[in-house]
Copies of this chain bind each other. A is one copy, B any other.
Amino acid sequence: MLPDIDSLGLFVRAAELHSLSKAAEASHIGVAAASRRIALLEHRFRTTLLERSPRGVELTAAGVSLLGHAKTLLVHLNHMNADMNDHAAGRKGVLRIIANTSAMTEYLPDDLATFARENPDVRLVVEERWSAEAVQLLQAGEADIGIVVEGSRTEGLETFAYRTDRLAVIALPGHALVQLEQMRFEDVLDHDLIALESGASMMRLLAEQAVVLEKSLS
């Protein structure tokens, strides 16, 4: 039911070289075998993939579709192989972590240092991204762990509470906010704010809270 990898690789080469013969050579098999493998692929899919002519092959519509899938599939397979090579070489693998700005600067460095000390064989790759991007990368399998701000849309992902982040307001001495005995988020909204870029999830979160309070971030 499922097609085999080698044939897909052959197909990709044939499609890109516009030639079965070249593809066969590149795949280190005979032309006859190549022809049959493609034919088998077509029979399996019940569709013609290549338009044959005496001076090469061209993709059909179905071929174009398959080419896209096959290429990303092969790329993924290479990632897998690389990972497994890491394991074979003793490294226990790569842990890809995506963190937002606050985690990156606050808690993460310490935690990562501890983890790295206890697991010297695990290679850590850390990237800083906005929460929304982090979720996308996680869903695409491009990363293993993401640290995002509360309230992010995390469909299909497992979530755990990591740390609590405290936000502070900085104002000039004598500013109206400083006069207050107890400052609530609501009070802050009455003033102009200098904060993060508007794309940051932190800001989205603040904006959502502002809406709840029937005010707006300005």
A-side interface residues toward B, CB under 8 Å? 1-6, 9, 45-47, 61-62, 65-66, 68-70, 72-73, 76-77, 79-81, 83-85, 87-88, 92-93, 132-133, 136-137, 140-141, 198-199, 203-204, 207, 218
From residue A195, how far is it (CB to closest CB) to chain B in Å? 11
22 CB-based A-B contacts, threshold 8 Å: A2-B6, A2-B77, A2-B81, A3-B5, A45-B84, A47-B87, A61-B92, A62-B88, A65-B83, A65-B93, A66-B84, A68-B141, A70-B80, A73-B73, A73-B77, A132-B133, A136-B136, A198-B199, A198-B204, A198-B207, A199-B199, A199-B204
Tell me the number of copies of this protein. Answer: 2
Question: Given B66, B72, B76, B136, which contacts A133 in the complex, CB threshold below 8 Å?
Answer: B136
Please name all residues of chain B whose beta carbon is closer than 8 Å to the beta carbon of A87 when the two chains form the complex. Answer: 45, 47, 61-62, 65
